[in-house]
Structure 1
Amino acid sequence: MRKIYFLGLSLIVLTACKVTKDTVFVAKETYWQQHVDYTMDIDVDVKKHQYKGKQTLVYTNNSPDDLKKVFYHLYFNAFQPGSQMDVRSLNIKDPDKRVRDRISKLKPSEIGYIKVNSLKQNGVVVSHETVGTILEVVLNQPIKSGETVTLEMNFDAQVPVQIRRSGRNNKEGVALSMAQWYPKLAEYDFQGWHTPPYIAREFQGVWGDFDVTIHIDKNYTVGGSGNLQNPQEIGHGYQDDSKEINLPTGDKLTWNFKAPNVHDFMWAADPEYKHDVLKMENGIDLHFLYKKNLEEVYLKNWKELQPKVAELMTYFSENVGQYPYKQYSVIQGGDGGMEYAMATLISGKRKFGSLFGVTAHEMAHTWFQFLLASNESLHPWMDEGFTSYISNQAENEILKENKKNPHAGSYKGYRAIVAKGYEETLTTHADRYHTNKAYGTASYSKGNIFLSQLEYIIGKENVENGLKKYFIDFSFKHPTPNDIKRSMEKVSNIHLDWYLNEWTQTLHTIDYGVKSVNGKTITLERIGQMPMPMDVAVAYVDGSTESFNIPLRMMRGSKPTTSIVLKDWGWAMPTYSFTVSKTVKSVTIDKSGLMADINLTNNVFEVK
């Protein structure tokens, strides 16, 4: 019996090993994401600010699960008195100045809504219920894994008064800023359904192709996502002047746009848009739509912006990854700046520096959230922070600002919120931050520092190459925080699990100091909870200097450096000492300023 028992145990162990090996192999092939193709046809009544829509979705379930329900976002429903967006704005400590109590005061003719009149699954009516900004759909038949279904919808909608991102008649007089305007299928991924109510923050979408037809008064110029399919029937600056224009009769024009492989679609329209086109040598068309009745100083700024946008397109393509679409549009509209597929909405009455800055930031979002489609609700620091990082770099180079640290503002903002005790972890859902200030600092500043501080840890060249690898591996996908970490690890051969954990999942702070200099022995101390490698500059009495790099032991390596690399420092050790060969005059920790040390007063030690 004993022999049989051990034989059985051996078989179990061997079988377990085989299953584990096969499972690991399969795991390499198990990334999946859903796919949806949109065909939409809308008829706009510009006087009533309403439109009727027909939508056909072809939805492919690439998940391993059978889906018994689907969900849609009905974003315009947020702009109604008593909505969660309204109530949140009335109760948060520091409400967005653009929102405040404005939703609570909207009249019935001013609210936004999307009303679903009918919905069919493969031609058969399905049950559905609207709950705030979410449409819940109980399917007649589950969508099995690997199956494709057709969902057909008729809906009515009203464009709200411009309050946040989308709407009508914004403060600069743009008639229609049409973002979040259609019933948008919610994302389903390895975490399940993503159905947060529309309260304040940003978005997540399913990759697919959009075919959008818009019927609107013929004096309105339209721009946005996608490529116009019928320019010779439209004019408005889209036509090929070498070919005949064939404008239809009637009061409306029919615009047909197609946007391939995107996860959202935005458009804007105004009867007073001026439309300029700049054709880049690489074949990309840059479209600029802005109010022709702007003051002369603003018109001049919009003209000066255009070649700079071409420089931005080149910079981002070279430093992250090649822009894959045929056009990009910069459009006056919205309430500040907001990114969308192949286009951005920005307010247009700005000094040139501000106009360039907002365009650089929103355009950079094309890479960080649209092509690298991280979840903006769960990980806003990955899109706002990374966008801030690359747009700061671009501005510094294109405008020749020559800043030693173009991210200094983010460090200042981060240190300020830590000092006030308002900081919350980067794992906080975008809508759940206690204050808007905490959200902004976490997402923009601390997210930016995630990358700029990596320059300090693994070296600038490794960060540059890591971003390019991240783009190659995860463009047109939905990357997670672990994915950016792995991209950086693969190019640097440095372990970064500790960094992702400490910086994004805790409130641990960095504080290192020079504890003492005794003769030629220098002692450093870790005061804060977050460990880091050390760059130390030593000045000697004879006027010479030396630089030292002390890797963190958990890194299992060190960055490329011309400094003298010393023995690594285990994080549990509160102090670290090393001996130099000359008489010391001063010791400085991190001359680059890229480490987010919250107390800089103890980073320099002058020997007296």
Structure 2
Amino acid sequence: MFRNKSFFFTLLLALGGYWLPAQDYRWQQRVEYVMDVTLDVKTHKITGTQKLTYYNNSKDTLRKVYYHLYFNAFQPGSMMDVRSRNIADPDGRVKDRISKLKDDEIGYQHIQSLKQDGKDTRYKVNGTILEVTLPKALMPGAKTVFDMKFESQVPQQIRRSGRNNREGVAYSMTQWYPKMAEYDFQGWHAYQYVAREFHGVWGDFDVKITLDPTFVVCGTGKLKNADKIGYGYEQPGATVKRPEGNLTWNFVAKDVIDFAWAADPDYLHDRAQVPNGPELHFFYQKNDKILDNWKKMEGFAVRHFEFMNKTFGKYPYDTYSIIQGGDGGMEYPMCTLILGDGSLGGLVGVMLHEAAHSWYQGVLASNESLYPWIDEGFTDFASQESEAVLLNTSLAEAHTGSYNAYFSLIKKGLQEPISQHSDHYNTNTAYSTAAYAMGTVFLHQLKYIIGEENFYKGMRLYFNTWKFRHPEPNDFIRVMEKVSGLQLKWYMSYWVNTTKKIDYSIRSILENEDGLFVTLERLGEFPMPVDLFVTYKDGSKQLYYIPLNETMGGKPDEKTLPRKDLEAWPWVNPTYTLKIDRPAAEIATIEIDPSQRLADVDRKNNTADLSNGLHAYSNPTR
């Protein structure tokens, strides 16, 4: 807390009025993991110990805690198995595969003992959740230590985590350890795992992994004992003193929400430095078919981190690893596991998306289960913009695919509010479109509402204000309101909590002795500000800007062409009439939002062609 008020206000002014303290009330729990595990590569079993120091920073007294046991999902009859076999459009990578796993192929996590501050706890397993009753209640502001012994079997890889996947990667070890569930101002977030999203507690990890010495290990954090390991981790010219027998790899990571790793005897290890950024590590198998693509991808990764640092905020860690994991792509703190084969374009595309998650899932770490769109959608938006810049394609068209996915969802009649918990969408199609496409469109339309300069300034401020804080959607929109000076909650409420559609049309064009008058109509239930472009036959253009009264203001003039600001359109009014400054005879076209940033569900009625005169113009379809 600032004691010197004059200094505080001087600092606030120096920061241009944009400093936004993360609210003091947003307490957060904290954890410190110390784990020592051994992997038997013949039986695929893990034995380990976990010492977890848990800090109760809440004002609540905790009498229970909950752990996630994700490996238990990979058993016939699990909730993940049943959900996959009964959902209308199952993930093709899962389908009924879990139901067919044999005993030596399933995953499990068995808790052998669990003590709190040296005293035995009472616990029970419910699917992928471990419920622990504490022998001593954990008081507000107190800390406690949990000592656990556990045994796990690594499942045959079905999705994300597991062994021996279709690309031949030996181990993709994600969500692999008993993981403390998050407790925040909303209570416990102990969700059964059905193959959707994750959430975690901020903390530090010190992890020792012992296994066969022929395996190369990579993952979250930095390798603490590189001088005894080698395999490309050692400093150039350093002498590696590798002990005989199994190797113990010691990784450490601070201020992360999870810890993931992978291991394979055929991994190659490359390194590349991002200017004024992290050192990148690349792990991929010795395979002539993929070698060239991985080498080329490394340059794209360096440039991607440069773009993200400049555009959205600086990546705060000093390392990041891109790992061939053999199953799609999935983000984890300080690393990602992605498919290794396929085309260069596909490899670069998945890398751009998963690495961009480091900003939204890795550093901001919103609750993906509750708000997948604020992670997946924001990540998709950023990676699409990065891809356009890196490949020198049209930035204006970078998000077209997301808009088309949203329109397709509407046509299929599958849309659900994106405020839905990620696990409970009726279809995978509705979930993926809501999380990815609609999250992206949300941002691109917001850029339309508040202007490009305000938008990017707000994105950087959001990142810098809320990193390591688990922000909620309202935290984001408040930052954007502060930066733009506009009211924006109406926009987020419509987009997130409803399935209302945006649909505007040019209803009529009339000319008389008083001038040329255009009447616009809002056919959809979702109100928005309107950019109306007039193109004249002499090639000149003019923008008529109609703000929405709900914003209590308008976006800055982006000075791309002459702009005339009109009175705000009250959201209750279905129509709006404006006067055009020149006669119909001089006009070629009148168009609503030619940038197509508005997610207008019927664009056929957005343009009036007057090139052959007003008499030849027929009203567009309403």
Q: Which residue of 1 aligns with 2:339?
A: 347
Which of the residues 379, 397, 405 maps onto 1:405?
Answer: 397
CA distance in 2, matches of 1:282, 1:456: 32
CA contact (8 A) 1:405 1:593 kept: no
Query: Contact 1:167 / 1:334 at 8 angstroms: preserved in 2?
Result: no
Aligned partner of 2:534 in structure 1 is 538
Residue of structure 1 equivalent to 2:427: 435
Q: Which amino acid aligns with 1:578?
A: L
Q: Within 2, Cα distance between the matches of 1:274 and 1:186? A: 35
Is 1:140 the counterpart of 2:135? The answer is yes
Q: CA deviation at 1:281?
A: 3.7
CA distance in 1, matches of 2:487, 2:55: 37
AA at the equivalent of 1:70: V
Find the aligned partners of 1:405 and 1:206 in 2 and give their Cα distance: 37
Give 1:84's aligned amino acid: M
- Match of 1:431, SS state, is helix
Alpha-carbon distance in structure 2 between the residues aligned to 1:506 and 1:606: 34
Aligned-partner Cα distance in 2 for 1:30–1:340:
28
2:260 corresponding residue in structure 1: 266
Change (3 A) 1:27 1:481: closer
- Structure 2 residue 232 is the aligned partner of structure 1 residue 229: no
Distance in structure 2 (CA, Å) of the matches to 1:242 and 1:540: 68
**Which residues of structure 2 form unaligned runs of 5+?**
1-20, 611-615, 617-622
SS of 1:202 mapped into structure 2: coil
Partner-residue secondary structure (3-state), 1:249: coil
Measured against aligned partners, the alpha-carbon deviations of 1:340-397 in whole angstroms (never above 9, x if no partner) come to 0100000100211110000000000000111011111110001110000000000000
The partner residue of 1:45 within 37, 40, 49 is 40
Are 2:598 and 1:603 equivalent residues in the alignment? no
Paired with 2:489 and 2:328, the residues of 1 have a C-alpha distance of 36
SS at match of 2:422: coil
2:70 to 47, 66, 75: 75
Change (3 A) 1:39 1:515: same
Runs of 4+ in 1 over 6 A off after TM superposition: none
1:542 offset after TM fit, Å? 5.4
Q: Alpha carbons of 1:27 and 1:404: their partners in 2 closer, same or farther (altered >3 Å)? A: closer
The one-letter amino acid paired with 1:295 is D
Q: 1:166 touches 1:334 (CA, 8 Å); kept in 2? A: no
**How big is each residue's C-alpha offset from its partner over 1:416-466, in whole Å with a ceiling of 9 and x where there is no partner?**
111221100011111111100000111100010010111111111111111
> 2:541 matched to 1:549?
no
Q: Distance in 1 between matches of 2:452 and 2:422?
A: 29
Deviations 1:236-283 (A, max 9, x none): 111124232211112x10100001100000000000111111133436
Q: 8 Å contact 1:225–1:342 — kept in the other structure?
A: yes
Q: CA deviation at 1:606?
A: 2.2
Quote the residue 1:564 is aligned against: 564
CA contact (8 A) 1:207 1:262 kept: yes
After the TM superposition, which of the residue ranges 173-182 and 465-474 deviates more from structure 2? 465-474
Residue from 281, 284, 288 that aligns with 1:295: 288
> Matched residues in 1 for 2:274 and 2:600: separation?
43
Of 518, 524, 533, 2:510 maps to 518
Equivalents in 2 of 1:403, 1:458: separation in Å? 18
C-alpha separation in 2, matches of 1:578 and 1:283: 51
What letter matches 1:572 in structure 2? V
For residues 583 and 325 of structure 1, what CA distance do their matches in structure 2 show?
60
Q: Which one-letter code corresponds to 2:572 in the other structure?
A: A
CA contact (8 A) 1:495 1:556 kept: yes
Corresponding residue for 2:162?
A: 167
Q: Secondary structure at the match of 1:502?
A: helix
CA distances 1:526-566 after superposition (whole Å, capped 9, x unpaired): 00000000000113455543211100000011111232111
Alignment CA distance shift 1:28-1:207 (3 Å) = closer
Indicate the residue corresponding to 1:498 in structure 2.
490
Letter in structure 1 aligned against 2:581: S
> How far apart are residue 28 of structure 1 and its match?
4.6
In 2, Cα distance between equivalents of 1:29 and 1:118? 37
Q: Which residue of 1 aligns with 2:592?
A: 589
After superposition, where does 1:365-380 map in structure 2 within 5 Å? 365-380=357-372
Conservation of the 8 A alpha-carbon contact between 1:215 and 1:255? yes
Q: Secondary structure of the residue that 1:212 maps to in structure 2? A: strand
2:597 counterpart letter in structure 1: L
Aligned to 1:111: 106
Instruction: Give 1:275's match in structure 2, choosing from 261, 269, 278.
Output: 269
1:309-360 CA distance string (max 9 Å, x none): 1111111111111111121000001410000010000010021111000000
Give me the whole-angstrom Cα distance separating, in 2, the residues matched to 1:370 and 1:43.
Answer: 27
2-structure distance, mates of 1:423, 1:499: 18
After superposition, give the CA deviation of every residue in 1:479-519 in whole Å (9 maximum; x if it has no partner): 00101101111111110010010000000100000001101
One-letter code aligned to 2:593: D
Q: Tell me if 1:256 matches 2:245.
A: no
Specify the code of the residue in structure 1 equivalent to 2:485: N
Which of 85, 93, 111 pairs up with 1:98? Answer: 93
1:185 aligns with 2:180: yes
Post-superposition CA distance 1:32-89 (Å, at most 9, x none): 1100000000011001111101000000001110101000000000000000000000
Q: How far off is 1:30 after superposition?
A: 1.3
| Aligned twin of 1:22 | none
Verify the 8 A CA contact 1:509 1:598 in the aligned structure 2.
yes
Q: 1:388 aligns with which of 372, 380, 384?
A: 380
2:280 aligned with 1:286:
yes
Shift of the 334–189 alpha-carbon distance from structure 1 to 2, 3 Å rule, reads: farther
Deviations for 1:133-176, whole angstroms, at most 9, x for unmatched residues? Answer: 00000001111100000001000000000001000001000000
Q: What letter matches 1:567 in structure 2? A: E
Q: Does 2:580 correspond to 1:580?
A: yes
Residue in 2 that maps onto 1:475:
467
AA aligned to 1:126 is T
Say whether the 8 Å CA contact 1:162–1:334 is kept in structure 2.
no
- Aligned pair count reads 580
Distance in 1 (alpha carbons) for counterparts of 2:102 and 2:205 = 33
Query: Which letter does structure 1 place at the counterpart of 2:397?
Result: N
Code of the residue aligned with 1:339 in structure 2: it is E
In structure 2, what is the Cα distance between the partners aligned to 1:295 and 1:267?
24
Q: How does 1:430-469 map to 2 (within 5 A)?
A: 430-469=422-461
Identity, % of aligned pairs?
Answer: 51
Question: Cα offset for 1:404?
Answer: 2.5
CA distance in 2 between counterparts of 1:539 and 1:464 reads 29
Query: 2:448 & 2:456 partners in 1: Cα distance?
Result: 12
Q: Give the CA RMSD over aligned residues.
A: 1.2
2:90 and 2:527 map into 1 onto residues whose CA distance is 35
Partner Cα separation in structure 2 for residue 102 and residue 125 of structure 1: 38
Find 1:123's aligned residue among 118, 122, 126: 118
The aligned amino acid for 2:49 is: K
Q: Which moved more, 1:585-594 or 1:257-266?
A: 585-594
Partner Cα distance (2:32, 2:100) in 1: 37
TM-score, normalising length: structure 2: 0.92
C-alpha offsets along residues 108-153 of structure 1, whole Å, 9 cap, x if unaligned?
A: 0000001000000001110010110000000011111000000010
C-alpha displacement of 1:581: 2.1
Q: Which amino acid aligns with 1:506?
A: T
**Matched position secondary structure for 1:406:** coil
